[in-house]
Amino acid sequence: MDLFLEMLTYLLPALVVFFTAYLTIRSLLKNDQRKRDQELVIKNKELITPVRLQAYERLVLFLERISPDNLVMRFSKDQLTVSQLQNQMLKSIRSEFDHNVSQQIYISSRAWEVVKSARENTVKLINTTAQSLRPDDPALKLSKALLEKLMEQEKSPSRAAVEYLKNEAGTFF
């Protein structure tokens, strides 16, 4: 029995020291892992933020390029008819959209929906305006009619979407 008590007097403090060291080292390792995770998150944000801002820039440029007033200025030529101008505008919108579709990865789902809605509303505006005219009328009639409809609206579809994107991109600062 003396031997057991003597072993216990040595073993018990050793076990206390062992568990204390174990818990301390485990706590230090968890803290170190947490710091590394935080550093990784910060580093990722530093890398991703410029790319996200670039996506917002590209989408604002897309929206500016597909705004009806800019399309009219870019494609309006005397020799075109209403249907030719309509087709050129729609082709340009489709091409611009296809070129920028990958930007949706870097923006919020809501922002992407706003961009798509602006595109759809612009297409709808062009189509409804063109349908109110004869297809073989001069393109100048479509240009005037589009600009008049834009002036009637409070905001063009593109302008509203640009404002949304600007507000959302502003949250990064």
125 compared with 11, residue with greater pLDDT: 125
| Domain span holding position 136 | 2-172
Question: For the residues 87-95, what does the mean pLDDT come to?
Answer: 96
Question: For the residues 4-21, what does the mean pLDDT come to?
Answer: 87
62 three-state secondary structure: helix
1 compared with 60, residue with greater pLDDT: 60
Q: Compute the distance between CA of residue 86 and CA of residue 68 in angstroms, rounded to an integer.
A: 11
Residue 76, pLDDT score: 76
pLDDT of 1 > 80? The answer is no
**Which helix (H) or strand (E) is 145 found in, with range?**
helix 139-152
For the stretch 96-108, pLDDT in tens is 999 999 999 999 9
Q: Compute the distance between CA of residue 18 and CA of residue 20 in angstroms, rounded to an integer.
A: 5
- Give CA torsion, residues 50, 55, 57, 63, to 10 deg: -170
For the stretch 69-85, pLDDT in tens is 999 999 877 789 999 99
Residue 10, pLDDT score: 84
Local structure of residue 81 (DSSP, 8 states): B
Tell me how crowded residue 73 is: count the other CB atoms within 10 A of its CB.
Answer: 11
Domain count, the chain: 1
Q: What angle do CA 164, 114, 71 make, to 5 degrees?
A: 90
Provide the CATH number for the domain around residue 76: 1.20.120
Mean pLDDT over each residue of the chain, to the nearest integer = 92
pLDDT of 166 > 90? The answer is yes
Q: Which of 124, 122, 142 is nearest to 82 (CA)?
A: 142
pLDDT of 5 > 90? The answer is no
